Amino acid sequence: MYYIYKPITIRLAVPADAPDMAEIHRRSWEVAYKGIVPDEYIQKQSKKRPALWQRIITDDNRTKYVIQKDGKTVGFICVVPTTQDDDKTDDVCELEGIYLHPDFYRQGIGTRAMEFALDKAYGWNKSFMTLWVFSENINAIRFYENLGFAPDGKTKTYDMGKVIDCIRMRKELMR
């Protein structure tokens, strides 16, 4: 099934999409997280991405979607009907990630893909959507704020060669 959000099309990822997803993941991290995540950590993770996505994207995939423009995969989005957080409830879903190839930044594609994610949440009859973002990733925070997300006070840290703080953002879904 294809979801059309002109100028993009979104569909469930299939195993044949894994190489494109790994490449987009690699390139997106190199650009979006430069100066936030140490280069050595990004390089180490980049080497693992092809096998990771080959393992993740199976015929049973129900939560990872590729974003295509003019028939070319330019990004992916992962949205799940429940959250993995300790305070999970039935009325919250989570955006696990949205990544675009840097060549397609600032073209409105991320905004259109987020419309898709929010439509999924409405279809699941959810009241809220949450996501996690690096606290130093000001561009992403502004992007999500422009879409109505706000920090909700929850935080966590990752050790990626340096300790990196994350904030959780939340959006109430109006019916």
Residue-wise pLDDT for 68-102, tens only, equals 999 999 999 999 988 777 666 788 999 999 999 99
Q: pLDDT, tens digit, for every residue of 157-170?
A: 999 999 999 999 99
Task: Collect contacts of 47-50 with beta carbons under 8 A, ≥24 apart.
Answer: 49/22, 49/23, 49/25, 50/18, 50/19, 50/22
Instruction: Output the pTM of the full model.
Output: 0.93
Angle (deg, nearest 10), helices 39-56 and 18-32? 160
Residue with tokens 């109505």: 148
Residue pair 131/141 in contact by the 8 Å Cβ criterion:
no
For the chain, domains (ranges, CATH) are 2-131 (3.40.630.30)
